[in-house]
Amino acid sequence: MFITLELYIIGRLLSLIAPSFLEFKHRIGAATDTRVLRALSLLLLELLCLVPGVKFIGTVGEFVPFSVGTLVVLGMYFQDQSISIEIFNVCNSSNVP
């Protein structure tokens, strides 16, 4: 159920971000949008968690795909959130009483 929902969300995002009147190269560029990549990472996590459920691989084989998928999801969700050094410089400035 989650896989079909994620496929629907990916399709809907692609249709909203890159409408059909755009050229093909611009529509392909929409796949690199952050929102689409986040939905694709969640789909990858679902597929990687589905593999050990279908066939018994072993104890290590159950946890490695889940760990890889989790790292991909965390990487997609925290790629734009970096702490700027300027924030720390403003707090430590001598102009503040």
CA distance 64 to 51: 11
Q: Where are the alpha helices (DSSP H) in the chain?
A: 2-17, 24-29, 34-54, 59-77, 85-91
* Tens of pLDDT, residues 4-28: 988 998 888 888 887 777 787 777 7
On whether residue 96 sits in a domain, the answer given is: no
pTM of the shown model: 0.70
* Tens of pLDDT, residues 28-46: 777 788 888 889 999 999 9
CA distance 75 to 67: 12
* Tens of pLDDT, residues 53-81: 787 888 888 888 889 999 999 998 887 65
On whether residue 84 sits in a domain, the answer given is: no
On whether residue 9 sits in a domain, the answer given is: yes
Residue 51 sits in which domain range? Answer: 2-78
CA distance 56 to 62: 8
Q: 89 φ, ψ to 5°?
A: -70, -35
